[in-house]
Amino acid sequence: EAQVTQNPRYLITVTGKKLTVTCSQNMNHEYMSWYRQDPGLGLRQIYYSMNVEVTDKGDVPEGYKVSRKEKRNFPLILESPSPNQTSLYFCASSSRLAGPTGELFFGEGSRLTVL
């Protein structure tokens, strides 16, 4: 089954404690991206990657890091989480062959709370 898998789905942590949200896709997609969803703000892009070892900032990259060492994985790293990073996070992937950005396939989301 084609899917994007995120872990953990739910996490409560404290300010400053480094955490990583993993994302893996099994569709051999070149493009992967991270979004956060906040009330009244919709989905905002954090980082994206067009292929292995190629990453770039989205609209709200501050406080986040990413890496793309393998095509299937695109982890999101919060080195020192702060309460304003409490949000619902989505990882997504697409094939660039499908169009300018392709139809994005999203994971089920990771709800993060930073106390």
Site residues for other proteins per CB under 8 A? 4, 31, 33, 35, 40-45, 48, 50, 56, 58-59, 90, 92, 96, 99-101, 103-109
Q: How far is CA 21 from CA 11, 66, 107, in A?
A: 9, 10, 12
CB nearer to other proteins: pick between 4 and 112: 4
65 vs 111, beta carbon nearer other proteins? 111
Six-digit token pair at 110? Answer: 């990771």
Q: Cβ distance 44 to 60 under 8 Å?
A: yes
- Lateral strand order in the sheet of 19-25: 4-7, 19-25, 76-78, 65-66
Output the smallest distance, CB 85 to other proteins, in A. 19
Distance of closest approach, residue 39 Cβ to other proteins, in angstroms: 9
Q: With respect to other proteins, which residue has the nearer C-beta, 19 or 106?
A: 106
Q: Is the peptide bond before 81 cis (omega within 30 degrees of 0)?
A: no
Q: How far is the CB of 86 from other proteins (least distance, A)?
A: 17
Report the residue number, 4 or 78, with the smaller CB distance to other proteins.
4
Rg of the chain over all Cα atoms, to the nearest angstrom: 13
CB of 19 to other proteins, least distance (A): 20
